[in-house]
């Protein structure tokens, strides 16, 4: 993947320019942003020369990341050209790659891919390896989606017939495609109200399976962005039980959304994702509580993926897939088979030794170890884990800890029996005296596994997950599982004595 770091700089500049424009408006200075041939510069036209000093002071005091490139006072309306300072632009470029890497990692973790490898390569590239992924196309779409969420008002008050204007522009040859947003806005410049912009609205019909695309006129001002979203989940509802994405807003987002809905009752609020209008519901009343929803244009899979990217956050800049290779499983098959063979051989030898040395107790311990492995594999399957060499290592270590726990219990039993205690008494004594030693050993190992998970990456995290699950399961099977077997045998009077 290549991160478009220059777009990140451009976005940051435009956002800062918008904030500056609002700040100047509060000082009763109305400026107009003009088109700039350089995307890394913004040009403001100001009412007269007298306000330039005030603008300069505002920038120096409140916007230290901006640089005044030039001021032109020769025209009727003077212009001031601004750009981000070099150190600020460099920081944004560096931070855009790091932030993109972290967001992509969070998306993939929620997507359910086990032990992904996500590393930075060079200045602006990221390498992503997804072992065992079943739907590569969906994964690629999930990774590459910018997920820029915006809320804007629909300009229903404008006396403009978009369909007529678009048809006329096509007939006159000024417009080639009505489905290209940039071409639409360029062809209809001067024919739509100032401060408005044309977007495309996509509506999915679950009954026909078709997606309808229609142009829609919106006010260009963004009322709320994706930063206000705290979390997102897929829900089913509506007239046709269609999937939608339920949004829970942050405290700040809830206040902004309540203000937006209170001030615009009866108007339509467009919800835009990556420049495409997903829905434009009518605001019926003031909405408090910090909850919103995006509905009307999704399949269930699209809604699930959108919820994932909204939870993980928007990418600071677009990413481009420059190379996509699907590698078959044969490359690592030999290593996996050898690892499995080593684990099975070692496990069988341990089980045989336990039966020879501890006899009936060893057999009970073997049953516990086998259950431990089965439960662990069930948990890993639940999380859609892919069996890798670090995972196999975690399973083998779990077997060792399971056997070690039982050995501790049996040795305490042996000591209690040497004191002349009856069968049930020395079994209970063995468990009681070994309990805290086993718990202490498992807890300290679990802390280590958690540290590996928090600070490790890729295969190290996979090993930590396998080990943590194995520790918790082993604590149950070693202490409670085997004791239930002993209690059952004693209740049935099938156990007369134990020899060690």
Instruction: Tell me, yes or no, whether 363 lies in a domain.
Output: yes
CB 409 within 8 A of CB 431: yes
pLDDT tens string 3-24: 999 988 988 898 888 889 888 9
- pLDDT greater than 50 at residue 339: yes
How distant, in Å, are the alpha carbons of 183, 213, 410 from that of 192?
Answer: 14, 20, 85
Average pLDDT, the chain: 85
Of 26-30, 157-161, 269-273, 329-333, the least confident: 329-333
The more confident residue out of 355 and 238 is 355
The pTM of the full predicted model, rounded to 2 decimals, is: 0.57
Same domain, 357 and 416: yes
Instruction: Tell me, yes or no, whether 159 lies in a domain.
Output: yes
**Highest averaged pLDDT of the listed ranges 138-147, 451-460, 478-487:** 478-487
Same domain, 351 and 454: yes
**CA–CA gap between residue 143 and residue 319 (Å, rounded):** 9
- pLDDT greater than 50 at residue 167: yes
Helix (H, G, I), strand (E, B) or coil at 139: helix
pLDDT tens string 233-247: 888 876 667 788 888
* CA nearest to 344, candidates 325, 369, 375: 369
CA atoms within 13 A on the CB side of 72: 10
Cβ neighbours around 429 below 10 Å, total: 17
For residue 352, the enclosing domain spans 330-491
Instruction: Tell me, yes or no, whether 428 lies in a domain.
Output: yes
Instruction: Tell me, yes or no, whether 432 lies in a domain.
Output: yes
Please name every residue paired with 216 in a beta bridge, in sequence order, or none if there are none. 199
Same domain, 390 and 410: yes
pLDDT tens string 285-328: 898 888 888 776 677 777 888 888 888 777 888 888 888 877 65
Number of domains in the chain: 3
Residue 499 pLDDT class (50, 70, 90 cuts): low
| Strand pairing category for 276-279 and 196-205 | parallel
**CA–CA gap between residue 306 and residue 372 (Å, rounded):** 37
Same domain, 281 and 349: no
Q: What element of type H or E holds 179?
A: none
Instruction: Tell me, yes or no, whether 163 lies in a domain.
Output: yes
pLDDT score, position 392: 80
Residue 419 pLDDT class (50, 70, 90 cuts): confident
CATH of the domain at 457: 1.20.1640.10
Instruction: Tell me, yes or no, whether 369 lies in a domain.
Output: yes
Same domain, 312 and 383: no
CB 257 within 8 A of CB 292: yes
Same domain, 25 and 139: no
Sign for the CA dihedral angle at 199, 200, 202, 203 comes to positive
pLDDT tens string 62-116: 889 999 999 988 888 899 999 999 999 999 998 888 888 888 887 777 665 556 7
Same domain, 278 and 365: no
Last residue of a domain, one of 254, 285, 320: 320
pLDDT score, position 174: 87
Q: What element of type H or E holds 384?
A: none
* CA nearest to 347, candidates 388, 390, 392: 392
**CA–CA gap between residue 483 and residue 494 (Å, rounded):** 15
Cβ neighbours around 400 below 10 Å, total: 15
Same domain, 193 and 314: yes
Helix (H) and strand (E) counts in the chain: 14, 17
pLDDT score, position 239: 65
pLDDT score, position 338: 78
pLDDT tens string 37-64: 888 999 999 988 888 889 999 999 888 9
| Most distant pair of Cα atoms in the chain: their distance | 108
Give me the residue label for tokens 């170890």: 369
Last residue of a domain, one of 60, 90, 120: 90
Last residue of a domain, one of 294, 320, 346: 320
Give me the residue label for tokens 């086998």: 370
CB 445 within 8 A of CB 369: no
**Dihedrals φ, ψ of 24, to 5°?**
-65, -35
pLDDT tens string 176-225: 887 888 888 888 888 898 889 999 998 766 667 677 888 999 998 888 88
pLDDT score, position 268: 92
Sign for the CA dihedral angle at 394, 400, 402, 405 comes to negative
CATH of the domain at 7: 3.90.1070
Same domain, 272 and 375: no
What is the residue-wise DSSP string for 441-482?
HHHHHHHHHHHHHHH--THHHHHHHHHHHHHHHHHHIIIIIH
Angle between helix 300-312 and 86-111 (nearest 10) = 140
Same domain, 311 and 335: no
Instruction: Tell me, yes or no, whether 496 lies in a domain.
Output: no
Sign for the CA dihedral angle at 83, 88, 93, 96 comes to negative
pLDDT score, position 112: 58
pLDDT score, position 18: 84
Angle between helix 482-491 and 423-455 (nearest 10) = 160
pLDDT-above-90 percentage for the chain: 15
Sequence-distant contacts of 202-210: CB under 8 A, at least 24 apart: 202/276, 202/277, 202/278, 202/297, 203/279, 203/296, 203/297, 204/296, 204/297, 204/298, 204/299, 204/302, 206/240, 206/242, 206/299, 207/240
* Torsion, Cα of 313, 318, 319, 322 (10° steps): 160
Same domain, 389 and 477: yes
CATH of the domain at 291: 3.30.1360.200
pLDDT score, position 41: 93
pLDDT score, position 331: 46
CB 306 within 8 A of CB 110: no
Sheet strand arrangement including 242-249: 229-237, 242-249, 291-294
Instruction: Tell me, yes or no, whether 481 lies in a domain.
Output: yes
pLDDT score, position 82: 94
Spacing of C-alpha 472 from chain mean position: 27
pLDDT tens string 465-475: 888 999 999 98
Sheet strand arrangement including 319-320: 117-121, 125-129, 2-3, 319-320
**CA–CA gap between residue 4 and residue 35 (Å, rounded):** 21
Same domain, 278 and 173: yes
């Amino acid at each position: 993947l290549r991160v478009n770091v220059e777009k990140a700089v451009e976005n940051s500049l435009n956002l800062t320019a918008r904030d500056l424009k609002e700040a100047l408006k509060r000082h009763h200075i109305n400026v107009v942003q003009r088109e700039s041939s350089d995307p890394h510069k913004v040009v403001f036209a100001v009412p007269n020369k007298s306000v330039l000093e005030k603008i300069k002071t505002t920038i120096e005091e409140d916007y230290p990341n901006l640089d005044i490139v030039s001021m032109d006072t020769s025209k009727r309306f003077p212009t001031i050209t601004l750009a981000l300072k070099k150190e600020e632009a460099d920081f944004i470029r560096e931070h855009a790659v790091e932030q993109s890497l972290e967001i992509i990692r969070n998306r993939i973790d929620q997507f359910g891919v086990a032990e992904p490898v996500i590393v930075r390569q060079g200045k602006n590239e990221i390498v992503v390896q997804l072992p065992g992924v079943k739907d590569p196309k969906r994964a690629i779409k999930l990774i590459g989606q910018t997920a820029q969420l915006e809320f804007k008002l629909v300009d229903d008050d404008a006396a403009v017939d978009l369909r007529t204007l678009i048809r006329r522009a096509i007939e006159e040859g000024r417009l080639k495609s009505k489905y290209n947003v940039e071409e639409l806005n360029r062809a209809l410049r001067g024919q739509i109200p100032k401060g408005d912009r044309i977007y495309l609205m996509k509506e999915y019909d679950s009954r026909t399976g078709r997606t309808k695309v229609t142009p829609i006129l919106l006010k260009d001002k963004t009322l709320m962005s994706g930063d206000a979203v705290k979390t997102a989940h897929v829900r089913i509802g509506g007239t046709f039980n269609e999937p939608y994405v339920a949004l829970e807003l942050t405290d700040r987002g809830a206040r902004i959304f309540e203000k937006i809905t209170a001030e615009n009752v009866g108007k339509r609020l467009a919800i835009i994702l990556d420049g495409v209008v997903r829905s434009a519901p009518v605001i019926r009343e003031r909405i408090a509580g910090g909850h919103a929803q995006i509905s009307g244009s999704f399949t269930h899979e699209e809604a699930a993926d959108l919820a994932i990217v909204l939870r993980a956050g928007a990418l600071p800049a677009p990413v481009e897939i420059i190379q996509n290779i699907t590698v078959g499983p044969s490359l690592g098959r030999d290593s996996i088979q050898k690892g499995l063979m080593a684990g099975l051989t070692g496990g069988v030898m341990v089980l045989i030794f336990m039966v020879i040395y501890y006899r009936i107790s060893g057999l009970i311990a073997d049953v516990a170890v086998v259950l431990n492995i089965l439960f662990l594999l069930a948990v890993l399957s639940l999380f859609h884990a892919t069996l890798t060499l670090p995972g196999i290592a975690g399973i083998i270590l779990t077997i060792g800890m399971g056997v070690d726990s039982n050995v501790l219990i049996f040795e305490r039993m042996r000591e209690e029996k040497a004191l002349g205690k009856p069968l049930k008494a020395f079994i209970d004594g063995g468990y009681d005296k070994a309990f805290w030693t086993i718990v202490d050993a498992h807890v300290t190992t679990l802390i280590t596994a958690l540290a590996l998970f928090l600070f490790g990456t890729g295969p190290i995290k996979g090993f930590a997950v396998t080990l943590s699950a194995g520790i918790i399961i082993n604590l149950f099977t070693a202490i409670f599982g085997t004791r239930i077997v002993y209690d059952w045998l004693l209740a049935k009077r099938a156990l007369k004595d134990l020899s060690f």
